[in-house]
Amino acid sequence: MLDETWRPDGVIGPREYFITRALDEGNYEISYRTDGRYIYVGLKVKTSGWVGVGISAGEGMRNGDIVFAYVTDDGRAIVEDHFGVSATQHLPDIELGGTSDIVEFGGKEEGGYTIIEFKRPVASKDKFDISLVEGMQTLIWAYGVDDSPEKHVAMGYIDVRLR
Ligand code: HEM
């Protein structure tokens, strides 16, 4: 039962999300729920660096709809809406002429983990976003060791049913 209100407070409550999946031997945990209009995502990753998740276009990072997030040294959560411009690079949608469609977010760093929570529309009008489909969807996931956008220490793919 989902009896907990979603709050982007950096705490992933036991009943705040529908599903939690543990990847990378438990170092990367992704939780999510949808209400038809929005998707709500919680990431809890064993790093003090950046964390990312994206909707795959089937080509690694290229053409992927990527969320790139981190918590600054003074405790502010930064959550950016990115797009995979090539197999090796992603850029903020706003730098590409698109829009940032992460409507609410928050997070914190605690006990060696970076916890990020965000909300975005299931379908956005931005051409740098991928709308969620009915049925299975492939996500890409990754994280780094610090906040600067250096290459991941771990990354991969996961198939999920998001709506
Ligand atoms: C932060 C800056 C990033 C850099 C500099 C970077 C760099 C790269 C590079 C060079 C590759 C090519 C393969 C390799 O050398 O291992 C790659 C592949 C990949 N990246 Fe990133 N990446 C970044 C962020 C991300 C993020 C945020 C995600 C996911 C949300 C991600 C997911 C992937 C995946 C899934 C592949 C695998 C492609 C494949 O082999 O099928 N990366 N990345």
**Would you place residue 163 in the very low, low, confident or very high pLDDT band (cuts 50, 70, 90)?**
confident
User: How far, in Å, is the centroid of ligand 1 from the Cα of 26?
Assistant: 20
- Cα–Cα distance measured from residue 65 to residue 112, given in angstroms and rounded to the nearest whole number: 27
Strand pairing class (38-45; 28-34)? antiparallel
User: How far, in Å, is the centroid of ligand 1 from the Cα of 152?
Assistant: 6
DSSP 102: -
pLDDT at residue 3, rounded to an integer: 63
| pTM of this structure | 0.96
Domains of the chain: 19-161 (2.60.40.1210)
Residue 47 has pLDDT above 90, yes or no: yes
For residue 58, with 0-12 CB atoms within 10 Å meaning exposed, 13-18 middle and 19 or more buried, which class applies?
exposed
Best of 55, 59, 61 for a ligand 1 pocket test (most atoms within 8 Å of beta carbon): 61
Best of 151, 153, 159, 160 for a ligand 1 pocket test (most atoms within 8 Å of beta carbon): 151
- Cα–Cα distance measured from residue 48 to residue 51, given in angstroms and rounded to the nearest whole number: 9
